[in-house]
Amino acid sequence: MDTTTRRFNGPPGQEDMPYLLTPGPLTTSRTVKAAMLADWGSRDVEFRQLVADVRNGLLNLAGCDESYECVIMQGSGTFAIEAALGAFCPMGEVKTLVVANGAYGDRAAKILEKIGRPIVKIDKGDSAAPSAEEIAAALDADPAITHVWVIHCETTSGIVNPISDIARQVKARRKVFMVDAMSSFGALALDMNDGIDVMVSSSNKCIEGVPGFSYVLVKRDMLDMSRGRSHSVVLDLYEQWKGLEANGQFRFTPPTHALAAFHEAMKEHAAEGGVAARGKRYARNAQILIKGMRDMGFSTLLSDNEAGPIIQTFLTPRDPNFNFERFYEALRIRGFAIYPGKLTKRPSFRIGTIGKVDEKVMQGVLTAVTEVLAEMNVTDLSPLEAG
Ligand SMILES: Cc1ncc(COP(=O)(O)O)c(C=O)c1O
């Protein structure tokens, strides 16, 4: 096809733009986008009520009891991660265990190193899940470890780590358990009362809002004890919490439109049937996509019991005619924006299965992939070997 001719059939409200099959920003509903067609005064009672609703709604969604607080932080997910690490991870002799199995675990370790908090790292590479037993063994081997940081769904590969099993081992040893549930919260079951002390996520993931803020759910006594510990003025979670509690306002300019969109997105999440229903839709998306891609000859990085419903990693075909940039652009002009790979050793690409997308969109992307492979004259889809 003529690559200068756009042939979009994108999401409602922006049919001339592609579906975003990525881990975020992702495709949102037309009504979520429409919720941004108003300018809210950040000091006004209506906006402060909206912020309070969002904070309470998130606590309820995570099954938090009265002992938890929700603090919203402006900026992308990494802003809340750095704020939480700076607030809760100890200085001095005691250490944080970072369990890394991909880029986001590595990034948490890098932040802690940068802000001078002692760490121990379990490094699983980028396609293997850590086991609860190896984390227990690391904790037993080093009593100076007091805090543990784990990713729920490692979006680098899409693998889902066994959070409940890990929580049991961590809590049996009375350590603080912190979870980056950025790409999973709202679609994969997570109960804070299972022993999660701190959880971080953001506005543009499985609740299907737009980018603009991130949030931390945390035990109130931990917030209280974090006073004065942050390395940063802007990312000081304690001060952010105190500001929100004092008058319902943000310390600095809030992302008003993103919060209004998220408020609507939370209503739509509940109307769909909450976490279970959302997770089911994404699981169906993943199932259709994986089957279709395998039927064509692609290989997935992960086995079916490792891969979650959030994002799928496909290994780059060895056919010399395959070129990711061309593949990407040819899919994009057909209405589907996919995602590059992020593995350190194996060439790959990813297709997200979250956002306001369903079976029809998955069938659409499969048809587009078939067309593009023919256009590129790619026939050998067996994977390139690890580099
Ligand atoms: C598991 C996980 N952690 C952290 C992040 C970083 O979030 P952001 O890019 O919004 O800063 C992401 C982003 O996709 C993620 O998937």
Do 280 and 139 fall within a single domain?
no
Q: What average pLDDT does this structure show over 269-279?
A: 98
| Residue to substitute in 163, 202, 235 for testing ligand 1 pocket (most ligand atoms within 8 angstroms of CB) | 202
Q: Is residue 74 part of a domain?
A: yes
Residue 324 lies in domain: 19-23+275-376
* Residue 354 clears pLDDT 90, i.e. is over it: yes
Report the CATH number at residue 226: 3.40.640.10
Do 279 and 266 fall within a single domain?
no
Degrees, nearest 5: CA angle 50-53-55:
110
Do 265 and 236 fall within a single domain?
yes
The pLDDT of residue 145: 98
Do 107 and 229 fall within a single domain?
yes
Do 208 and 350 fall within a single domain?
no
| Residue to substitute in 22, 82, 104, 111 for testing ligand 1 pocket (most ligand atoms within 8 angstroms of CB) | 104
Count of CB atoms within 10 A of residue 179's CB? 26
User: What whole-number distance in Å separates Cα of residue 352 and Cα of residue 158?
Assistant: 9
The pLDDT of residue 345: 85
CB 77 near ligand 1, within 6 Å: yes
The pLDDT of residue 1: 45
Residue 5 per-residue DSSP state: S
The pLDDT of residue 344: 84
Tokens 């001078």 sit on residue:
116
**Amino acid letter for position 137:** A
CA distances for 168 relative to 64, 177, 188, 321, angstroms: 17, 10, 18, 49
The pLDDT of residue 10: 87
Do 137 and 209 fall within a single domain?
yes
Do 188 and 85 fall within a single domain?
yes
Q: Is residue 91 part of a domain?
A: yes
Label residue 41 exposed, middle or buried (CB < 10 Å: 0-12, 13-18, 19+).
exposed
Query: Which pTM does this prediction carry?
Result: 0.97
The pLDDT of residue 6: 64
User: What whole-number distance in Å separates Cα of residue 353 and Cα of residue 347?
Assistant: 20
Peptide bond into 340 cis (omega under 30): no
The pLDDT of residue 8: 74
pLDDT digits (tens, 9 = 90+) for 181-235: 999 999 999 989 989 999 999 999 999 999 999 999 999 999 999 999 999 999 9
Q: What average pLDDT does this structure show over 159-179?
A: 97
Could you tell me the distance, in angstroms and rounded to a whole number, from the CA of residue 192 to the centre of ligand 1?
20
Do 59 and 138 fall within a single domain?
yes
Report the CATH number at residue 314: 3.90.1150.10
pLDDT digits (tens, 9 = 90+) for 87-146: 999 899 999 999 999 999 999 999 999 999 999 999 999 999 999 999 999 999 999 999
Could you tell me the distance, in angstroms and rounded to a whole number, from the CA of residue 81 to the centre of ligand 1?
9
What is the C-alpha radius of gyration for the chain, rounded to an integer number of angstroms? Answer: 21
Ligand 1 atom nearest to 24, measured from its CA? 14
Instruction: List the alpha helices (DSSP H) in 236-378.
Output: 237-247, 256-272, 274-296, 324-332, 359-376
Question: Do 381 and 313 contact (CB within 8 A), yes or no?
Answer: no
Do 219 and 322 fall within a single domain?
no
Could you tell me the distance, in angstroms and rounded to a whole number, from the CA of residue 153 to the centre of ligand 1?
10
**216, 235, 270 - which closes a domain:** 270
Q: Which tokens belong to 304?
A: 């079916």
Do 236 and 118 fall within a single domain?
yes
CA distances for 6 relative to 67, 153, 250, 254, 330, angstroms: 52, 34, 42, 36, 10
User: What whole-number distance in Å separates Cα of residue 79 and Cα of residue 213?
Assistant: 8
- Ligand 1, atom 2, lies closest to the CA of 182
- Ligand 1, atom 14, lies closest to the CA of 23
Do 199 and 307 fall within a single domain?
no
Do 136 and 265 fall within a single domain?
yes
Domains identified in the chain, total number:
2
- Ligand 1, atom 7, lies closest to the CA of 77
Question: Do 181 and 189 contact (CB within 8 A), yes or no?
Answer: no
Q: Is residue 382 part of a domain?
A: no
Least confident range from 3-7, 43-47, 74-78, 257-261: namely: 3-7
Q: Is residue 386 part of a domain?
A: no
**230, 246, 270 - which closes a domain:** 270
